[in-house]
Chains A and B, each alone.
Chain A
Amino acid sequence: MEEPSKIVIKNLTKVFYKKESRVTALDRMTTTIKDGEFVCLVGPSGCGKTTLLRILAGLEKASTGSYQIVPSGKDRPLQSMVFQEKGVIPWLTVKENVAFGLKMRKLPKSIIQERTDYYLKKTGLNESASLYPKELSGGMKQRVSIARAFANDPEILLMDEPFAALDEQNKFILQEELLAIWTETKKTVLFITHSIDEALLLADRILLMSAQPGKIASEIQVHLPRPRTMEQVRADQGAAAAFMEIRKHLQDEVQASRE
């Protein structure tokens, strides 16, 4: 059975124009992401991954081309973003941060309370609900960011290297927690990462991007059964081959951009 499309991207192009330079960050990018799919975007630095995410997040305008996030008909925001490390607002408490999107949408207090509490508990933050972010570790801060996005119950989730700044152990824990919440909600996720292991652990499909101008070079289906663990990823033949393929692609891209 084929899942319906959730994100349809057609010929999306973004050029950064300045007096001295014109950079094509995205070049006629076209792809479709299915409902409930977890897609990782992997590519060399400066390949336009973040630009793509920012366009989908409504933070940047595409130069030409179009995209559509297919609404489900329920009262949901189109998308919510989990930002890199510093996205938690320091003058709001953990709870206020998690409730931020819901409050902005002016939902009834009881619903805000209920959803906030649910995701605080889910991410293990209920003990820290009234603390300010300065009192949290890096891992806890990213949990706040994730809880805020899920509590907002958007059509799709956008994640921009949410675990990049964490240490290895915390990263493993948060990846597992993210997978657990995702399995429960079955949200469509577009996730940027530099880590091949992370992509293999999380994704249904990995989109490989080429360096400037950014476009999709190839894609890899990850067939590992869920729920996954890092051990499975490491033990699986197919995953090992995929790892090498992605690694070679990234190295070739970096080499090519050097020459």
Chain B
Amino acid sequence: MKKTAVRFDPFKVEQEEWKRQQRKERYKKALTICSPIFVLLLWEFLSRTALIDPRFFPPPFEILKTFLAMGMSGELFSHIWISLYRIFAGFLLGVIPGVIIGLLMGLYSPVRHFISPLVMALMPIPTLALLPLIIILFGIGDMSKVVTIAGSVFFPVVINTAAGVLNIDAIYLDVAKNYGAGSKEYFFKIALPGSLPVMLEGIQMGQAIALLTIVAAEMMGATSGIGYLIWTSYKAFLLKEMFVGLILISFFGYLFSLGLRMLQKKLIPWR
């Protein structure tokens, strides 16, 4: 009796369907949350049972204990702070000129034609390959790491910013011109907001590259930082300490991505 009632009431039928959809969504969300936990548990199990070599892959719980012990001694935080400082400074030093030059390239075609061959030619050179040179120029202190990161971050930002301006639909240029926008108004009302989505993609990419670069830059010619920690731990065969460093990098990468996504939502609400 009940079943037939459900079957013949169209609202009930759709309600059931809707509930099914909701369950599916919840299931997908659960999968997303479960996957890292699952991998960690699997790792723990395989390592404890020595199915994988616990010397190379110490169980996550042991890594956590090492992390807490390192945190207690205070040494870990000095490494984290110094790396974060280098990442932020290098990131800003790459993003700010990247955005400015990118906007100029997008707005003025002579600038674009002059600079783009330089960008194209310099981009394939890994900044890390220039690290010895950078160390000679800037010493083994923070500055050389900051410059290395800035150099790597600059390229995706400059290219995406210029592309962002160039990809603005021509009709908005027509609208601006037809309604008498001057060059200042054009910049603030059309070029800047119009290029923002693609520009932010470039900044997001730059953020990821900054993290990749810091570790490598601190492996060479550094006496502190997460990269230094990873490298010295590895050389001393302190793999638990090394994993602490690796997981920290992964954690900050995730955190920064999340932060930039939030910024993106704030800055481009019209998307």
Contact = CB atoms under 8 A, between A and B. Distances in A.
Interface of A: 57-59, 77, 79-81, 83-84, 86-87, 89-92, 100-101, 103-105, 132-134, 148, 152
A160 to B, nearest CB: 10
Contact of B175 (A58, A79, A87, A134): A87
A133 B270 contact: yes
Contact of B190 (A77, A89, A133, A134): A89
Nearest to A101: B179
Lowest 7 A-B CB distances belong to which pairs? Answer: A101-B179, A132-B270, A91-B193, A91-B270, A104-B180, A81-B178, A104-B181
B235 to A, nearest CB: 52
Contacts of B180: 77, 101, 104-105
Interface stretch (B59-67, B166-174, B219-227): B166-174
Nearest to B177: A59
A152 to B, nearest CB: 7
Given A59-B177, A87-B171, 5 more contacts: A91-B193, A91-B196, A104-B179, A104-B180, A133-B270
Instruction: Assign chain B's interface to a size class.
Output: 20 to 34
B17 interface: no
Contacts of B174: 57, 59, 81, 83, 87
B182 interface: yes
B172 A89 contact: yes
Contacts of A86: 169, 171
Q: Which of B180, B194, B268, B271 has the most CB of A within 10 A?
A: B180
Nearest to B268: A91
Interface of B: 169, 171-172, 174-182, 185, 189-190, 193-194, 196, 268-271
Contact of A59 (B178, B182, B190): B178
A152 B179 CA distance: 8
A91 B189 CA distance: 9
B179 A80 contact: yes
A38 B269 CA distance: 39
30 contacts: A57-B178, A59-B177, A77-B180, A79-B178, A80-B179, A81-B174, A81-B175, A81-B178, A83-B175, A84-B171, A86-B171, A87-B171, A89-B175, A89-B189, A89-B190, A90-B270, A91-B193, A91-B194, A91-B270, A92-B270, A100-B175, A100-B179, A101-B179, A101-B180, A104-B176, A104-B179, A104-B181, A104-B182, A105-B180, A134-B271
Contact of A132 (B171, B181, B196, B269): B269
B258 to A, nearest CB: 24
A133 B175 CA distance: 15
Contacts of B268: 91
Most B C-beta atoms less than 10 A away, residue of A84, A91, A132 = A91
A89 B168 CA distance: 11
Contacts of A58: 177-178
Nearest to B196: A91
Contacts of A101: 179-180
Output the residue of B169, B268, B270 with the most chain A CB within 10 A: B270
A228 to B, nearest CB: 29
Contacts of B179: 77, 80, 100-101, 104, 148, 152
Nearest to B271: A134
A104 to B, nearest CB: 5
Nearest to B174: A59
A80 B194 CA distance: 22
Nearest to B172: A89
A105 B176 CA distance: 11
Contacts of A89: 172, 175, 189-190
A156 to B, nearest CB: 12
B270 to A, nearest CB: 4
